[in-house]
């Protein structure tokens, strides 16, 4: 039930959530049906990039579904901040790398239309709610309070590195990624850093739950996508230092998400008992 500090958003935001989820279903198809979606994607993607992007869009779809179901300030604040961060960075990376897009096709035009519209809508809702304080949160224990700035720093610094020095910071990935894809992927880490910062400052239980779900799915689907794709193409050196570092990175993100989700779920259980 809505509480005085966690009021519903306007109905228009629910319509926005539905529209975004429909678009994300297409993106998730890169993971579940890459042969069908890749020819229709706005730019050419390799098998590994397709599955990685598809895994992220699947995680983002779950997050937007949470906003659709709750449609309240919490978890809306978290979802909109992460969505705004992601779409701004990806839009900027797309404009910088226009050579990847064939504007004789419809897909690139739709790509820019969808992303710019998302930037405007999410930014507008956040601006209108800028003075609203966060909903009542969970009291995080000292271990969480000490850990979250570390997570935020790692995600943020790596995201900035991918954005500004894409070939250097993307050089250890299990498959080759070019500057454009590295900059697009930087948005995932920077959005995660923004979400972690919000929860560290104030941890409404719905936001902790949604952030945990997002991180779990990002970590799980990144690794699962790598395994599934390599089973078909056999190009990954699983003993390479870079591959092991990449697996540790995304495994850590996924495990961190599990613990956040568990903490939030346990709080829900204690409240209903």
Contacts with 127 (C-beta within 8 Å, 6 or more apart), sequence order: none
The total of structural domains in the chain comes to 1
Residue 3 lies in a domain: no
Dihedral angle, C-alpha 113, 114, 116, 119, nearest 10 °: 170
Report yes or no on 265 lying in a domain.
yes
- Taking the alpha carbons of 120, 121, 122, 123 in that order, is the dihedral positive or negative? positive
40-52 per-position pLDDT tens digit? 999 999 999 999 9
**Within a domain: residue 1?**
no
Residues of the chain with pLDDT under 50: 1, 272-273
Question: pLDDT digits over 21-31, tens only?
Answer: 999 999 999 99
Beta carbons within 8 Å of 170's beta carbon, 6+ residues apart: 162, 177, 179, 181, 182, 185
> Rounded distance, CA 187 to CA 160, Å?
9
117 belongs to a structural domain: yes
Q: How far is CA 85 from the centre of its chain?
A: 9
Query: Tell me, what's the pLDDT at 131?
Result: 87
Residues present in the chain in total: 273
Q: Is the pTM of this model over 0.75?
A: yes
Q: How many CB atoms lie within 10 A of CB 116?
A: 15
- Assess if residue 131 is contained within a domain: yes
At 149 the pLDDT is: 97
Whether 150 is in a domain gets the answer yes
Q: Find residue 8's DSSP bridge partners.
A: 72
- Kindly state whether residue 4 falls inside one of the protein's structural domains: no
Q: What is the pLDDT of residue 273?
A: 45
Residue 247 covered by a domain: yes
As a whole number of angstroms, the distance between CA 184 and CA 179 comes to 9
DSSP, residue by residue, 202-239: ---HHHHHHHHHHHHHHHHHHHHHHHHHHHHH----TT
Residue 224 is part of which domain span?
A: 11-272
């Amino acid at each position: 039930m809505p509480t005085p500090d966690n009021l519903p958003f306007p109905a228009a935001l629910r319509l926005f959530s539905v529209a975004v989820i429909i678009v994300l279903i297409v993106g998730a198809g890169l993971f579940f049906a890459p042969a069908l979606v890749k020819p229709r994607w706005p730019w050419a993607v390799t098998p590994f990039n397709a599955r990685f992007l598809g895994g992220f869009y699947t995680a983002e779809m779950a997050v937007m579904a949470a906003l659709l179901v709750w449609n309240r300030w919490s978890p809306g604040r978290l979802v909109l901040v992460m969505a705004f961060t992601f779409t701004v960075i990806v839009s900027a990376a797309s404009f910088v790398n226009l050579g990847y897009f064939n504007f004789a096709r419809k897909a690139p035009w739709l790509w820019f239309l969808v992303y710019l519209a998302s930037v405007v809508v999410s930014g507008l809702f956040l601006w209108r709610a800028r003075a609203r304080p966060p909903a009542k949160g969970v009291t995080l224990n000292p271990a969480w309070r000490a850990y979250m700035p570390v997570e935020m720093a790692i995600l943020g610094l790596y995201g900035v590195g991918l954005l500004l020095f894409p070939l250097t910071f993307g050089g250890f990935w299990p498959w080759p990624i070019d500057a454009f894809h590295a900059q697009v992927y930087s948005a995932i880490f920077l959005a995660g850093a923004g979400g972690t910062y919000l929860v560290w400052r104030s941890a409404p239980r719905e936001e902790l739950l949604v952030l945990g779900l997002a991180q779990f799915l990002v970590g799980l689907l990144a690794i699962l996508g790598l395994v599934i794709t390599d089973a078909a193409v056999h190009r990954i050196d699983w003993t390479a230092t870079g591959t092991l570092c990449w697996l540790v990175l995304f495994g850590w993100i996924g495990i961190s998400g599990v613990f956040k989700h568990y903490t939030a779920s346990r709080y829900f259980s204690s409240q209903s008992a």
